[in-house]
Every structure is written in C-alpha cells, then in structure tokens.
Amino acid sequence: MRIAITGSTGLIGTELLRSLREEGHDVLRLVRRPPRAADEVRWDPRRQEIDAAGLRGCEAVVHLAGAGVGDHRWTEAYKREIRDSRVQGTATLAAALASLDTPPRVFVCGSAIGYYGDTGDRHTDESAPAGEGFLPDVCVDWEAAAEPARKAGIRTVFARTGLVVARSGGAWGRLFPIFRLGLGGRLGDGSQYWSFISLQDHIAALRHVLDTGSLTGPVNLTAPEPVTNREVTAVMGKVLHRPTLFPVPAAALRIALGEFAGDVLGSQRVIPRQLLDSGFVFRHPRIMEAVRAAA
C-alpha cells in the first residue's frame, strides 16, 4: 500500500513509519523543507500549500503533525500555534486530498481525548459531546477542518489519542527521568484519571484503523482501563524501584505550567469503545504492562 504521513519525525510518526516499512509498504513523508529524497513530498501548512501531485497514488494518508501541547508554557501566542498548526495543516491536507482525481481510501487525522474536556470519574466513549475549554475547542476545529475529505467520499477517522506511555517522548518521556531519580510523585491529590495507551498499542491501533473499513469518525486510542494519577505513581515507583515520596501540589503546578496545569490536573476516564467493538486486542491493556513495556 502507498501511504503518506505527516509528522513522521515525531514520537508516533517515527514508529508508524518503521512499522509500515518493515511490512513492505511504500511510505511517503510530507516535509516542510525542499524534498531531499524520493520518498518526500513538500508542504507548507502555514501558507496552506502542498504538492498535491506528490500524493497521487496514495491509498491512505495519516496526519500526525502539530505543535506539542505540553512543549511550552501556554502564552496566547503559543495557544495560537497549537491551534493553527492543527487546523491549518488539516484543512490544507483535506482540500488537497479532495482535489485528487483518485483520492485515497482513508484519511486518518490525529486528534486527542482533550476533545472531551474534564470528564471526572465518568466513563466516556466516542458518543460523548465536546467539553468546554481551550483544548476541546481546538479539537472541535481540528476535526472540522477535515470536512473536505469526508465530503469527497474519503473514509475519515479522527484518532483521539490519550497519554502515550513511551520513554522517548510525550508526557511519559518527561516522567521517566524524574521517577528514575526518585523524585516522582502524584500530581495534585492524584485522584484524576489518566487515559493511557502503550506506544506499541498506539501503533497497532493506527494500523487497525487503516485496515478496518467499518471504522469512521472518532476513534479513541486509549487502553480499556484508565487509572488515576495516584495509581500511575505507584506503578512507576514499583517498576523503576524508586520511592514516590514527593507529591507536586496543585498550586505549584499552576505556577509552573500556567493555564496548562488545569489539563494536567483534570480527569479523563476515556474508553476505546470503537476499537473494542471492532475486535482490536490490546497487548498492554493495564498500566503495569504498559509501563513495563516502556521501561
């Protein structure tokens, strides 16, 4: 299969690229600089420009590009960067795919469980409405930007990703060094739910979405058993054989992270109903298994 990927140098993109190529798929990478290899296609989401001709023959497109939500403090300028990098990129790509004489069969567009906002301890699946706040608003606009692809008859899937358990990036990429030093602890009171997924399961779920024609619309990429931050802390300490004696007070998080602290302290108990109903089998359904796989 000929597949195009944006965000191919990120945590998820790197692993998906490797997984697809190991099985012999022809994978194109969308890059923002002049192409330097035959497998690269130029695009500039800021200017809403793309070499649509380079996408001819693609049967699938996976869109993972976007500014990191936790990479910087949330100034108004960086909040615009978070939103624009997702909405402009998705709109540019969706319009290009819709313009092709033979469009791809499937467009998998990255999204996030931030769509649901703070759900407390309530089990939440893909049928839930959008929450309130900055991240839910971004996710709503992000997904809406893919409408040209859907209208063109392309099966369009929104991969609403949870917290990916990995050493090399994302939220857990920051947690592992802290816990290895024996400085890890619960965040706030630790009662907030974290909807996690192992890196291996995330890649397998994306592959499953690509291959399963019945899946369309939102698909939660989270493990089936969300856990509290307190439970995450205990598992990290046990797997890494380190004490977890230093809780981080909510007030300190708000000082350090600003507005983003509200999302760190928020609770999301998200269930991957679409994946489960379509027969996907998790390799690491529990937090202990996911952390051990990453450690």
The domain of 72 spans 2-294
Lowest mean pLDDT of 60-64, 67-71, 190-194, name the range.
67-71
* 241 contact partners, CB below 8 Å, separation of at least 6: none
pLDDT band at residue 70 under the 50/70/90 scheme: confident
pLDDT of residue 265: 75
Q: What is the mean pLDDT of residues 106-123?
A: 96
Average pLDDT, the chain: 93
Sole residue written with tokens 């403090």? 73
pLDDT of residue 261: 61
pLDDT of residue 264: 66
Which pLDDT tens digit goes with each residue over 248-291?
A: 877 765 655 566 666 667 899 999 999 999 999 999 999 999 99
Q: What is the DSSP letter of 101?
A: S
CA gap 98, 102 in Å, rounded: 9
The sign of the torsion formed by the CA atoms of 178, 184, 189, 191 equals positive
The sign of the torsion formed by the CA atoms of 189, 191, 195, 199 equals positive
What are the start-end ranges of the E strands in the chain?
A: 2-6, 26-31, 40-44, 49-50, 60-63, 106-112, 123-124, 155-161, 163-165, 193-194, 196-198, 217-221, 227-228, 269-270
Give me the DSSP letters along 33-85: S---STTEEEEETTTTEE-GGGGTT-SEEEE-----TTSS---HHHHHHHHHH
Give burial (CB, 10 Å; 0-12/13-18/19+) of 188. buried
Which pLDDT tens digit goes with each residue over 190-224?
A: 999 999 999 999 999 999 999 999 999 999 999 99
Lowest mean pLDDT of 54-68, 69-83, 90-104, 123-137, name the range.
69-83
Q: What is the CATH number of the domain that holds 19?
A: 3.40.50.720
Cβ atoms of residues 226 and 193 within 8 Å: yes
Proportion of the chain above pLDDT 90, given as a percent? 82
Cβ atoms of residues 7 and 13 within 8 Å: yes
pLDDT of residue 258: 64
First to last CA, the chain: 33
Provide the domain count of the chain: 1
